[in-house]
Each structure stands twice: as C-alpha cells, then as structure tokens.
Amino acid sequence: MNSRPSLPPVCVIEAIPVPGDHEIPADEARAEGVPTPAHLRLERELGRGAMGHVHPAIDRNLLRHVALKRLDKEFADSPQYRDGFIAEAQITGQLEHPNIVPVHELAIDRHGVPFFTMKLVQGVSLTRWLDTHALGTERLERGLEIMLKVCDAVAYAHHRGVIHRDIKPDNVMVADFGQVYLMDWGLARLTKTHPASSAHADQTGPVGTPAYMAPEQARGNPSEMDERTDVFGLGAMLYELLTGQLPYGKPAPARVIMLRAHMGAIVPLDTAAPGGGIPRRLQAIIERAIDPEPGKRYQTVVELQQELRAFLRGGFYLPRRVFQPGEIIMREGDVGDAAYMIVSGRCHAFRNLGNEKESLAVMTAGEVFGEMSLLLGEPRAASVEAVELVTVLVLTQQTMTEGLGIDGWTGALVHALAHRFRDLEHQFRNAGIRRSTLPPELVKRGP
C-alpha cells in the first residue's frame, strides 16, 4: 500500500451507522465487481496486485479507517483463486503479532466476490524507504532495527507453522510512527497442517520473487522449502540494505534472474560493495543467511536475529570475565592478547617505578584499556588491578577484525593512531614526568 495523508484526529459522532456515500459510483462498482458492504464506506483504489485490488475504507460503525482487499471478479469463479484468496485471509488473520497487519473480517459479497478488511497502514514500503535513505551508518542502523522487527514476525509465523515464501522490501511496510509490518501472505505455505483445498497444497513450480528467491524456490520443489527459505529472503534484504544491490546481480529479465537463482549464482558482497568498509561480522552474517545450500544457512530465523541484535548492540556479544577485588587483570610487561571494556566496577591502572607505583588512572564502567598493546603487539605498558568486583568485556584480535574490518582502511587508521599515541606516551615518560602517586586508599591493594 502506498503512503496516504495523515489520519484526522479521533472524533465521536455517537450514531451508528454513520451516513455517507461511497467514493466509487454504484454503476462503476457493479462493473468492476467492487464489494460495497453496508457497514463500510469505500474510497478509490489504493493499490493492486496480480489478482486483487486494495481500497481504503471507513467502518461506518467504529469510524475506523481500514483497507479492503478484494479478488478480481474475473477470478472469483475459479475455485483455485477463490480458495487461495480465502486461505490468505485466514492465515493472516490467525497470525496475531505486532509486526503482522491485523485482519478484521472476511466475507463474500452478494455477487460472489471474496474480500477481507485489515488495518490501514499509514507509511511507505521498505522499497521506498531504501530509495530515500542513502548508504551509510544511519541507513544501516535504522535498517537493522526494521529488519529485527521483520525477523520477529517471521519467527512467530514459523512457530505457528507458516512460511512466507515472498519476503522482499515491497512486502514490508514502515509506518509513520515506527511500526513495521510484514504484508502479503498470499504465497504462504503451511508446514504443520494441511489446507482443506488444493490452493495451498504442495504444488510444484517456482514461487516467490526471483530477485529475493532462494535456490530451492527456483527449483520449484515444495518439499525443499522450509524455514530456511525465509532465512534466505531475509538475508537478501540485508544484502540490499548494506550494498544497495541485489544478491543475483544487476536487474535483468525475470527469466534471467530465475536462472541465476536456480544456479545459486550470488554476487559476492565484496564485489557488490567494492569500496570496502563492510563490517566483517555483518558480512559473515549475511553470507551465511544467503548461502545457496540450506544446510549452511542459519537453521532458524531466531539464530539470524540473535546475530543481528548482537552486532547492532555493538560489543555486547563479546565474552565477559569477572575479577575479584585486588586481582590483576593485566600485568606490565606481559604480551597483550586482549583489550577490555569495563561493564561494572572500578579498576586502577599503575606502573612500577622501583619500589614505588605510579598511579595512572582509576577507571569505571564504559572505559577501555589494553587496546594499545593489542593493536601494536607490544608488551603491556602498565598494570591494571580490580579495585572492587569488576566485570569486563574481552576484545581479542579476532573479534576486533570481525567487528571493525580492522585489516582494511579502518585498520590502517586505527593502527596509525595507536602508533601516534604510543610515541606521545614515550615522549611523556622520557621527559621524566610522573602522573601522580598512588592514592592512599589504593596503596594496600598493590601487589
């Protein structure tokens, strides 16, 4: 559905039904097969699909703005299309989740045309959202927040025994106040029950949108399609979010994209974004999600979502260690193989000067230490002791490489800054300047 003007303020008329004429003339409604139930006031068409149309409408009793989706009258007499339309409404209606658009009612009008009403979403499609947000940090952070909500919807559907099979930006609505909805369950497949008709049975043939289609969808064997098929669709959207490109390459006729999908001919992320700057950890997440082999993908959406959330939070996926008061966390002169971020508690950094200790700093939650030695591969320049019970996040060379892409231009910048700070520190020490003496309350804690 396209964006609509903002809704008016809530009002009360204290009468039912509220009078008013349809925007669509009666003769036009009859000719087009538009349902005109007495309790709704229909407006002009809002959007259309391959076999149906969507109209905004007002519920005359509740004064609620809704969307009415109807099947084209040309398909209303076909059991396959009619049953499939009804199945879509019944599936969506049972998926009661904050990120799945609510269905209000399902009916067949007096001319035999099935329709259902649902929440009218005020916003834009994710396709439009991507078009209006340039590649960069803001797009990535906000886009990942949207993707986490889509993952919520898909994970819930999988729990209820439904796979979507057409996950793409066109089917995600980003509403005006931050709501996110996964729409259009017309190609959904049941995995734990069987439909009464053949509309949603295991029919063979490709299903979905080629540009976001998993290879098993292109092969068209329903028995190969499961939750991991939707994982691929989510990964394809992440690929586009990160690079602005599609997994199967530049736009081409549908048959060409379908062939690429059938072959699993995914363009490597490094090729799609040749400028670099892709966080290694996120790159690994996407590459696993869109692996052509289902067995190599995340086996559940929950696994994918957990990885995305850990990346987005930044650092909080790192392992933690706890140190007791008086325990040495790192020792001067040791070779550094890790850096640390304090989660809770206080630490004291100091250097040994003969029989005395030069106090450098008392550090609290949020501060980082040990990074210079880790970056430069040099011995520790100071010791750090836990003043009280301390919890830290542990950052190793591997996690730094994965998280920052440290072997690219980012790494060159970080290493240059590390060398500069080290040189300044050496100048400071060679000048014979001492920071301070150890605070009296910490003297007894020294080794």
Active site residues: 166
Sign of torsion, CA 303 309 312 315?
negative
Contact call for residues 181 and 169 (beta carbons, < 8 A): no
Which of 114, 53, 72 shows the shortest CA–CA distance to 42?
A: 53
**Strand bridging mode 347-353 / 320-323:** unpaired
Cα 326 from Cα 334, distance rounded (Å): 18
DSSP state of 106: E
List, as own/partner pairs, every contact residues 29-34 make where C-beta atoms lie below 8 angstroms and the sequence separation is at least 24, other chains included. Answer: 32/73, 33/70, 33/72, 33/73, 33/76, 33/111, 33/113, 34/70, 34/113
Cα 106 from Cα 116, distance rounded (Å): 4
Helices and strands, number each (H, E), in the chain:
14, 19
Which of 445, 436, 444 shows the shortest CA–CA distance to 353?
A: 436
* Cα separation of the two ends of the chain: 68
Contact call for residues 231 and 217 (beta carbons, < 8 A): no
Contact call for residues 213 and 206 (beta carbons, < 8 A): yes
Provide the residue type at 116 as one letter. F
Sign of torsion, CA 157 163 167 172?
negative
DSSP labels, 52-115: EEEEEEEETTT--EEEEEEE-GGGTT-HHHHHHHHHHHHHHHH---TTBPPEEEEEE-TTS-EE
Cα 35 from Cα 165, distance rounded (Å): 29
- Give how far the C-alpha of residue 339 lies from the chain's centroid of Cα atoms, to the nearest Å: 29
- Burial environment of residue 367 by CB neighbours within 10 A (0 to 12, 13 to 18, 19 or more): middle
* Bridge partner residues of 192 (DSSP): none
**b/e map of 229-262 (b: 16 or more CB within 10 Å)?**
bbbbbbbbbbbbbbbebbbbbeeeeeeebbebbb
